[in-house]
Amino acid sequence: MRLRVSGQQTGHKYQLDTIMDGNYKRSGLPNGNILNTFVESIIDRNEAGISVARSTITNELGERALVDAAATIAAFNAYPRMADSTGIPLEDAKKEITLEMRKELRMEVLRYEE
């Protein structure tokens, strides 16, 4: 959701369906392939892939970009887990503003009405 809203504020168009098909060049995300390789390596716990991705990010984008990317991945990994583990429901306003994005990504909101 934040990416889509950020794009509206900056005037960038992001193609979220590329998350599903892996076509990062079409995504509109600057350095999307490099950054996605880092994300996927971390999620897969692929130590060799993480090392290569970190080197690539540092060489191509700089150390600050590596720190920013790692912090963003950590935050996005932690927040949903905290919410899920405590049973925090998705607010009605967020249900509404994320509806189109969730449809596009083929996500379903699961029983938040409980």
pLDDT of amino acid 21: 67
Residues 34-42 have a mean pLDDT of 90
Backbone torsions φ then ψ of 27, nearest 5 degrees:
-65, -30
Asked if residue 32 belongs to a domain, the reply is: yes
Residue 111 maps to a domain: no
Among candidate residues 101, 110, 109, the one with its CA nearest the CA of residue 20: 101
Return the sign of the alpha-carbon dihedral for residues 23, 26, 27, 31: positive
- What percent of the chain is modeled with pLDDT above 70? 61
Q: Residue 100: pLDDT above 90?
A: no
- Work out the average pLDDT over 69-92: 75
Position 94 in a domain: yes
> Is 93 inside any structural domain?
yes
Q: Provide the domain count of the chain.
A: 1
- pLDDT of 19: 63
Whether residue 56 is contained in a domain is answered as: yes
Name the pLDDT band for 96 (thresholds 50, 70, 90).
confident
Q: What's the mean pLDDT when you consider all of the chain?
A: 77
> Exposure of 49 by Cβ count < 10 A (0-12 exposed, 13-18 middle, 19+ buried)?
middle
Q: Is residue 62 part of a domain?
A: yes
Domain contains 34: yes
Question: Quick check: 108 pLDDT over 90?
Answer: no
Give the whole-number percent of the chain exceeding pLDDT 90. 25
112 in a structural domain = no
Domain ranges, residue 36: 2-104
Question: pTM of the prediction?
Answer: 0.57
